[in-house]
């Protein structure tokens, strides 16, 4: 087991590929075909292009505030290590990995346009919608994993959250339940070293985030979150282990956000540009590209073609989202609860009445 070779109490990151795309731990290299690598690369590039477009749309007032994934695209390899039946419980900076699960790109734009259907997930994608209350959703993942265990299914739940989330109470409750109930859940912390303007070092006195797992009786490991091989290998190990009934696992993926916390933030007020430059040298997208070039499966021509195809895909998703008619009352109410609560039944009827009256007035 990989986690046994790395002590979570020390800053010992699992790394398979160095910053220049060279393999430094051949023994830990996961089995991924050239096609797999190209697919992972495609999702990373698509995630980045979608993000850049969203930034421009926000500046033009065409979408609301959003949290860019820029710099954290290594997350794609984690989702790639899962199986179709597994459940993904994200926070708000996971739109690159959501694409791997089959979440339509159009939904990403719809959500930030304030459209209800942006949160409607295709049935077999098994990913929950965006969750903004920091640190609250790991509990949902534990609940899903517990249900899976009770039903004797072989599905794993994985939840993604930031370093800041590990200072929230609900995170600790989730970890405690996961340890005690031995449920098939993976905690995947994207430690991007900032919780808005609060640096990691003054946000928790823990030497590593991975060591928080020790208190709850879970294996914890710190990995290089910008190294897709480390990310894939560890998520797969955690998922295989959980599927065998061996319980929960905690991964601290060290990464960095290149952009602002959200479009409402100005990071130049609190962090040094030199730090950003340091991390840009360790960009997850660039590293995979270098690796593929090194082994001779990628060249400038393929890159050019991919960028053009991805741009087209992004433009179409934005166009489709902008053409989507405003949500109906049914769409607003019918996707959260299997059965509406009595209060919601009342609210839905009221809203329908208001809408009908409005339509009647317009007709006159």
Ligand X SMILES: Cc1ncc(C[n+]2csc(CCOP(=O)(O)OP(=O)(O)O)c2C)c(N)n1
Report, as residue numbers or ranges, the catalytic residues.
257, 261, 270
Residue 174 found at the interface with ligand X (CB under 6 A): no
111 binds, among ligand X, Mg ion, none (CB under 5 to 8 A by kind): none
Task: Indicate whether 95 belongs to the interface with ligand X (CB under 6 A).
Answer: no
133 touches ligand X (CB under 6 A):
yes
Nearest of 83, 236, 203, 80 to residue 148 by alpha carbon: 83
Smallest gap from Cβ 270 to Mg ion, in A, equals 13
In the numeric block, which tokens belong to residue 73? 């695209």
CB of residue 192 to ligand X, shortest distance in Å = 5
- For the bound state, the minimum distance from the C-beta of residue 13 to ligand X, rounded and expressed in Å, comes to 18
Query: Least CB distance from residue 149 to ligand X, whole Å?
Result: 27
- The stretches of 217-299 forming alpha helices (DSSP H) are 228-243, 273-280, 284-294
Among 101, 183, 96, smallest CA distance to 138 is for 183
* Residue closest to 63 by CA, chosen among 310, 259, 298, 263: 263
Q: What is the number of the residue whose Cβ is closest to ligand X?
A: 162
Q: Residue 71 binds which one of Mg ion, ligand X, none, with CB within 5 to 8 A depending on kind?
A: none
Number of residues interacting with ligand X: please give it, by CB under 6 A.
14
CA dist., res. 230 & res. 287, Å (int): 12
Q: How far is the CB of 191 from ligand X (least distance, A)?
A: 7
165 binds, among ligand X, Mg ion, none (CB under 5 to 8 A by kind): ligand X
CA–CA distance, 276 with 280 (Å, rounded to integer): 6
Residues 138-177 that bind Mg ion (CB under 5 A): 162-164
Which CB, 98 or 165, lies closer to ligand X?
A: 165
CA distances from 62 to 59, 65, 89, 170, 313 (A): 8, 10, 27, 34, 18
Handedness of CA 178, 203, 163, 5 (dihedral sign): negative
Q: x/- site string to ligand X, residues 147 to 166, per CB under 6 A?
A: --------------xxxxx-
Query: Segment 173-212, which members bind Mg ion (CB under 5 A)?
Result: 192, 195
Instruction: Check residue 134 for interaction with ligand X (CB under 6 A).
Output: yes
Residue 25 CB contacts under 8 Å (≥ 6 apart), including other chains: 15, 16
Q: Using the rule CB under 5 A, is 259 a contact of Mg ion?
A: no
Strands 185-191 and 249-254: parallel
Binding test (CB under 6 A) with ligand X, winner from 43, 188, 194, 232:
194
DSSP 148-194: HHHTT----EEEEEETGGGGSHHHHHHHHHHHHHT-SEEEEEEE-SE
Residue 196's binding partner among Mg ion, ligand X, none (Cβ under 5 to 8 angstroms by kind) is: ligand X
> Could you count the other beta carbons within 10 Å of the beta carbon of residue 65?
10
Min. distance of Cβ 62 from ligand X in angstroms? 22
Q: How far apart are CA 253 and CA 13, in angstroms?
A: 9
**226 touches ligand X by CB under 6 A:** no
- The distance between the two most distant Cα atoms of the chain, rounded to a whole number of Å, is 75
Task: Single out the residue of 261, 282, 287, 290 in contact with ligand X (rule: CB under 6 A).
Answer: 261
Question: Least distance in Å: CB of 297 to ligand X?
Answer: 32
* Count of residues in contact with Mg ion, rule CB under 5 A: 5
CB-based burial of residue 234 (10 Å sphere; 0-12 exposed, 13-18 middle, 19+ buried)?
buried
**Which segments of 81-123 does DSSP mark as H helices, in order?**
95-100, 105-112
Query: Going residue by residue from 39 to 78, which x/- string records binding to ligand X, judged by CB under 6 A?
Result: ----------------------------------------
Asked whether position 254 contacts ligand X by CB under 6 A, the answer is no
Q: How far apart are CA 95 and CA 76, in angstroms?
A: 9
Among 78, 148, 192, 211, binds ligand X (CB under 6 A): 192
Rule CB under 6 A: which residues touch ligand X? Answer: 93, 132-134, 161-165, 192, 194-196, 261
Rule CB under 5 A: which residues touch Mg ion? Answer: 162-164, 192, 195
């Amino acid at each position: 087991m990989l986690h046994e070779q790395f002590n979570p109490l020390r800053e010992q990151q699992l790394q398979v590929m160095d910053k220049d795309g060279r393999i430094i731990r051949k023994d830990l290299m996961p089995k991924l075909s050239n096609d797999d690598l190209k697919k992972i690369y495609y999702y990373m590039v698509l995630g980045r292009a979608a993000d850049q477009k969203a930034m421009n749309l926000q500046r033009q007032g065409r979408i609301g505030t959003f949290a860019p994934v820029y710099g954290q695209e290594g997350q794609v390899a984690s989702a790639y290590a899962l199986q179709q039946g597994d459940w993904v419980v994200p926070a708000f900076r996971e739109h690159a990995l959501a694409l791997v699960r089959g979440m339509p790109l159009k939904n990403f734009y719809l959500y930030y346009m304030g459209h209800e259907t942006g949160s409607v997930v295709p049935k077999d994608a098994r990913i929950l919608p965006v969750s903004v209350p920091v640190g609250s959703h790991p509990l949902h993942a534990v609940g899903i994993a517990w249900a899976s265990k009770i039903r004797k299914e072989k599905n794993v739940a994985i939840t993604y959250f930031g370093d800041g989330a590990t200072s929230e109470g609900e995170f600790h409750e989730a970890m405690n339940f996961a340890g005690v109930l031995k449920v098939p859940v993976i905690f995947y912390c994207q430690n991007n070293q900032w919780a808005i303007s609060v640096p990691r070092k003054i946000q928790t006195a823990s030497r590593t985030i991975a060591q928080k797992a020790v208190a709850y009786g879970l294996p914890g490991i710190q990995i290089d979150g910008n190294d897709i091989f480390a990310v894939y290998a560890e998520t797969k190990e955690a998922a295989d282990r959980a599927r065998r009934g061996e319980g929960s696992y905690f991964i601290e993926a060290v990464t960095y956000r290149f952009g602002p916390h959200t479009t409402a933030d100005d990071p130049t007020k609190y962090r040094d540009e030199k730090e950003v430059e340091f991390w840009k040298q360790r960009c997850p997208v660039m590293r995979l590209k270098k690796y593929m070039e090194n082994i001779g499966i990628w060249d400038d021509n393929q890159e050019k073609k991919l960028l053009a195809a991805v741009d087209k895909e992004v433009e179409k998703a934005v166009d489709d989202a902008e053409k989507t008619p405003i949500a109906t009352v049914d769409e607003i109410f019918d996707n959260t609860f299997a059965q509406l609560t009595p209060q919601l039944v009342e609210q839905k009827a009221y809203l329908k009445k208001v809408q009908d009256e409005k339509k009647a007035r317009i007709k006159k």
